[in-house]
A and B are shown apart, each in its own frame.
Chain A
């Protein structure tokens, strides 16, 4: 398997799918000539031309809205919003239009679109360019929410997302773009709703998403030195959520720590904790703990930003606590 970074893997997924299906178009700000601010759409304009790779004006509401309309009328848009924070400008088109249309129309509409957005802190981009908002999307019936953590997952999940007939929100953590890894060649998909065990363990389950998967893995490594065997589970898609996979792991380890970068209060971890509490309470030997950002916007100053992002130490502390 070739080695590529996360951004290249996403780029590859675009190419595989665009070659296969002529009805896929890509649109967004600076996706064409610039190749995407993070390089994900590099080379697509040259390969597929401006009918299929469209640089748009700065007009998020219309980028999303036209994708919804085009998808409903037979195309398969794959659109980019640069930063997830900008969804605020376009939210109506996503949640009142895309998410609800099929239901409101009694099941008649089909909206096969993918909305790609960059999320996450770590580069000093401050409060309007650094958020993680996955819980907000999870809360909207009708949307699927994908959040990969490795280059291979990114590619397989993006191809799956493009083939899905529902609107899919695809969240890419900006600290992952340069991450290298082996990526399967050509055409392959990873089904939604299948968590991936990134590290097997016996004593505690750590459910983590996106960049936090890697922080959790290094915490697990340190914990192993202390004799604690942690299992790191990456749900990969938050809707559909692999409840069964998470519960299976908890049934084995009897302890659960949930880690994510978005704020803890009403975050995605709250849902996961509630599901486990409802369905596997009897298997738990300790209260469920969450490691997540404090309830504040993402600060600019580097020491504050670093304090905002959940750390390896916080994960280790939480694990030790549930092990007591």
Chain B
């Protein structure tokens, strides 16, 4: 039986970047409406079973309030903590239960934690956060259709998904955390309000994907060259003073010029040491890992990141196979 998981993060889209930058306001009522459309898309794709992460606001329950559906929709049962840990735990359980796909609603931050728990379950990330490189700005109905096609096996995984790379933070030889877009080394000792917005604090930037048309720190590299998420190399930039400059949209509404001391490419498996300690490493836009004075820390590129649904390709495959059409001739 085809089953899909939904992880909608009620806290995404509220962090300090609405104050220090011009981050969009993404209220939870809008997430409810998106989930409704996702559910309708999933149903149309033939999904029967939905499991979702329970949250204190009840995004999915509220979405169901105004829907009639014959799908079997149940919350995952675990002791929710109302923080990051919930998303990761939910992803782990969904992966264990053999979900065919996990749809996430959140930003890069949400997807990072889901990726940590999802194992090889494909993720279809829908953007409702702040700095969104990883998730798609996509209509919920389409997300539901595509996730449904993958979960039901109507589109084979090898046709409709790709494996993203990820950056691994290694502290004293221990794999400590991962990033799915960028890892930024800040001259700071506190995680504090999490976001990073003072460019003079940033010492190194690691990117496993970049594009000149994306927002956030990955855009700094993006102004120099593109890296697709599945390509097995990443870029490392050392920022400093008096070097050549790059101007890039580092946060919503914030276009900054930074001085780049050194740029290099990093191959998969390679480890690059952090130049600073103590420091704080921001993963996908949020300060997460504290490196204490004297600790050895490196960052490594891994090709074994999250499995991600490619919506365009999935839908293109559905078109070729006439999944949503009978024998129609185009004259």
Q: Do chains A and B touch in the complex (CB under 8 A)?
A: no
Q: Which residues of B contact A (CB under 8 A)?
A: none
Q: Which residues of A contact B (CB under 8 A)?
A: none
